[in-house]
Amino acid sequence: MKKKQDKYSRREFIQKSAKGAAVISASGLITSYSLFSDKDKEIKIPQRTLGKTGLKVSILSFGGGSQFLKNNDGDWEKVLRKAVESGINLFDTAPSYNLAGFNLGEGKASGSEERFGEILPGYRDKIILSTKLESRDPDQVKESVETSLVKMKTDYIDILLIHAIAPPDDVAEIEKGLYKEMVALKESGIVKHIGFSSMDSAERSRDFLEKLDFDVVILAMNPTGYGNYAKVALPAARKKNTGVIAMKVLRDIVGVEATAKELLEYAWTQEGVASAVVGHFGIEPLEENIKLAHEFGKSEPASADPKELESRLASLAGPHALCWARPGYIDGGIIV
């Protein structure tokens, strides 16, 4: 039987555009290399399986949003290298994570996709790259993915997500347009796994999980209970063995009514959560979180009572305390 022709050929997809052609020389389509020494090859942070993907991901992931972008030139390179060489192997970004979008001025790399492309190609065979689609227009999918490939200097994306599923997103509309294009990219091998992120509607996230076949989701989840993702969307993900990454774990809360240890452990002990993605401004917070990930791997379960933590932080569930719950918030973080 003749094999069905893929809508997207991996190499042709890259070669057919002027932008995409640059990926071949920038990333090396044929060869890969690693900067890890034998000592570095040891897994330093506990890993879990990311649902049906089968990927082994570090329980602490690296976010490329505003907190990372706040690192100046000369600093962000150290933060990124420290992360990957300490055993963090999942790096999440989006085209909208850029200096201009967050009023952070200019730099030699204007966005986190470009920053990832400066450092991470040398570790490509050891890491998992996740980026997103900003537009809901299926006709813009190809150009968006081409651009991301060039910026990150790679010839494939491990995880491609629809950015920020919200109440206006219609499942049927997405299914016949954007989702169809994502599935075609997955079949071609240009994208390995597909999914979405959400911080605005647990109910709509549940609808997408129940009706479409996604591999990975990034969901807002912390003990304030804001958004109710742990109770509404997470069970739907578990039922389909969809890989779950928790986000909005620390921002605005740590140091107010809870410690970083309590907040990370809350995310890590949610059934079905494989990893918590955190953006880092400066080496010190990164080192602290890496240490907490090490300690958690040696002493599960968490030391804090999750119910008590939820009760303690319930008063923070809202835009008065959570910047990402405020109208007009751009995913990745408003600088406050």
Catalytic residue numbers read 97
Q: Which two structure tokens, joined as six digits, stand for 18?
A: 């002027």
The overall longest dimension of the chain from CA atoms, in Å, is 63
Q: Among 128, 177, 135, which Cα is nearest to 157's?
A: 128
Cβ atoms 227, 199 nearer than 8 A: yes
Cβ atoms 191, 149 nearer than 8 A: no
Other C-beta atoms closer than 10 Å to the C-beta of 231 total 10
Q: Which two structure tokens, joined as six digits, stand for 224?
A: 């304030």
Alpha-carbon Rg for the chain in angstroms: 19
Strands 243-247 and 191-198 come out as: unpaired
Cβ atoms 205, 217 nearer than 8 A: yes
What is the distance between the alpha carbons of residues 167 and 170, in angstroms, rounded to a whole number?
A: 8
What is the distance between the alpha carbons of residues 224 and 128, in angstroms, rounded to a whole number?
A: 29
